[in-house]
């Protein structure tokens, strides 16, 4: 039998009525002849509650026990979903991560999937089981301890199972009906995309779009797993949702497919650093060691022989998530105290936002950057930092202009119109 993977997020299984609704969708696919692997998240809000309990008991908690506690929400949902399917006369059983087993690394609370042997579940399919309900977000370490994959890890679980079982498709059921050109709450003209390439979705996910977890898209692209993003609250049709697929399955692409944004950015500038070989490594090495995720980087033009410096001096600006700013400040000040780098001062600006235009069509369409920059200029929006890739242009701007920038760029690239 062909295998289909269906993943239901927290809002889709938030209570018993929603679990029953999700189970009916599973029943439809079983009736079509599929063996179905259902990946479930914890009920909406449950993981946050469990995390809160752990932190209340022990601010400096044992990560192994943290995983044991926070993974329990998915176990409850998996059992309830299996019971619901059984009441519908559909042969189903629940599976916890260790029972599959989903084997991970030992990095508790941020484990990565190493292997998913298919033997146990396939044996049950051969015996007549039609649905395997698997607790998402969790696995087992080589030491035999429960692990979790990090927040949003159920998406990654679903894609990994689709790859391991060579599934026909992986359907991600959530509280939105697909992937949009941008957040409809910011731009009312946002349009649902019928298809989007893996690379575009990966950029959008990494730049702030919250429909899919970045790791799940990376995994889907690596193993060419077709993903479909669907709403749990709308009636399913053959054209519902958004298909995330290989670029070759998309006939023609506009220059820009979507606009992503992130409010949670900080801009940091090292003022008056030595302009010499190795200075970038001396700056960003300590940041990497401290776990700071540096994104956009700009180095100013060098000034020579300034205030006793033997060579030239320059300023270095970079962006990072705002919740990592304090960690970045400490790492850089420690590096200065250790004599690894010299700088006059460190300036931090948390009142910024990142806005990005994304599209595989940029490879064959000229003038995207020019149009983007002119659009922002016409709105009186100053660009602080620019970063580009083959299919993305990102800018850092004052946060107060973020929504205006998104709306203006959405209009400028006519994203409300299909290709």
Alpha carbons 24 and 265: distance in angstroms, whole number: 41
270 plus 410 within the same structural domain = yes
171 plus 28 within the same structural domain = yes
The answer to whether the beta carbons of residues 236 and 180 sit under 8 Å apart is no
Strand stretches in 128-226, DSSP E: 131-135, 138-140, 146-148, 169-174, 195-197
pLDDT of residue 363: 84
The answer to whether the beta carbons of residues 143 and 64 sit under 8 Å apart is no
pLDDT of residue 311: 57
Residue ending a domain, choose from 175, 203, 231: 175
Residue 226 included in any domain:
no
Taking 70 as the pLDDT cut, the residues of the chain under it are 208-209, 238, 251-252, 301-311, 419
Residue 86 included in any domain:
yes
pLDDT of residue 361: 86
Residue 182 included in any domain:
no
Residues 6 or more apart from 99 whose CB is under 8 A from it? 120
Domain count across the chain = 2
Residue ending a domain, choose from 141, 175, 209: 175
Q: Is the pTM of this model over 0.85?
A: no
pLDDT of residue 250: 78
Residue 300 included in any domain:
yes
Residue 160 included in any domain:
yes
Residue 150 included in any domain:
yes
Q: Which domain holds residue 416?
A: 249-419
pLDDT cut 90: percent of the chain above it: 71
Residue 139 included in any domain:
yes
Alpha carbons 279 and 314: distance in angstroms, whole number: 10
267 plus 146 within the same structural domain = no
> At 295, is the secondary structure helix, strand, or coil?
coil
Residue ending a domain, choose from 175, 201, 218: 175
284 plus 397 within the same structural domain = yes
152 plus 276 within the same structural domain = no
257 plus 395 within the same structural domain = yes
Q: What is the DSSP string of 49-117?
A: HHHHHHHHH-TT--HHHHHHHHTHHHHHHHHHHHHHHHHTT--EEEE-GGGTT-EE-S-TTS--EEE--
pLDDT of residue 23: 97
pLDDT of residue 337: 93
269 plus 418 within the same structural domain = yes
Alpha carbons 391 and 408: distance in angstroms, whole number: 20
């Amino acid at each position: 039998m062909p295998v289909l993977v269906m993943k239901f997020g927290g809002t889709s299984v938030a209570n018993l009525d929603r679990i029953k609704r999700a189970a009916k969708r599973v029943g439809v696919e079983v009736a079509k002849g599929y063996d179905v692997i259902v990946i479930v998240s914890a009920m909406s809000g449950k993981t946050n509650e469990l995390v809160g309990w752990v932190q209340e008991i022990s601010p400096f908690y044992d990560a192994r026990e943290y995983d044991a506690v926070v993974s329990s929400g998915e176990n409850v949902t998996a059992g309830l979903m299996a019971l619901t399917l059984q009441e519908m006369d559909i042969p189903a059983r629940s599976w916890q991560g260790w029972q599959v087993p989903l084997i991970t690394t030992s990095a508790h609370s941020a484990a990565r999937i190493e292997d998913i042997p298919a033997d146990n579940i396939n044996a049950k399919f051969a015996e007549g089981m039609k649905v395997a309900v698997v607790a998402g977000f969790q696995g087992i370490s080589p030491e035999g301890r429960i692990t979790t994959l990090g927040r949003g890890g159920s998406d990654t679980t679903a894609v990994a199972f689709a790859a391991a079982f060579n599934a026909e498709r992986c359907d991600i059921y959530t509280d939105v009906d697909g992937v949009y050109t941008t957040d409809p709450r910011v731009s009312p003209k946002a349009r649902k995309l019928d298809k989007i390439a893996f690379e575009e979705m990966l950029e959008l996910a990494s730049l702030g779009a919250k429909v899919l977890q970045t790791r799940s898209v990376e995994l889907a692209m690596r193993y060419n797993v077709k993903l479909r993003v669907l709403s749990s609250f709308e009636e399913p049709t053959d054209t519902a949702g958004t298909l995330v697929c290989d670029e070759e399955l998309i006939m023609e692409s506009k220059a820009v497919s979507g606009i992503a944004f992130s409010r949670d950015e900080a801009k940091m500038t090292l003022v008056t650093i030595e302009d010499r070989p190795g200075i970038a490594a001396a700056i960003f090495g300590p940041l990497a060691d401290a776990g700071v995720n540096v994104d956009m980087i700009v180095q100013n033009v060098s000034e020579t022989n300034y205030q006793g410096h033997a060579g030239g001096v320059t300023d270095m600006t970079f962006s990072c998530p705002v919740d990592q700013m304090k960690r970045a400040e400490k790492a850089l000040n420690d590096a200065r105290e250790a004599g690894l780098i010299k700088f006059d001062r460190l300036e931090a600006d948390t009142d910024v936002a990142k806005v990005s235009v994304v599209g595989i069509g940029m490879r064959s369409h000229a003038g995207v950057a020019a149009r983007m920059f002119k659009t922002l200029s016409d709105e009186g929006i100053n660009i602080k930092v620019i970063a580009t890739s083959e299919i993305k242009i990102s800018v850092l701007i004052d946060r107060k202009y973020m929504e205006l920038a998104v709306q203006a760029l959405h209009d400028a690239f006519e994203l409300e119109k299909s290709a």
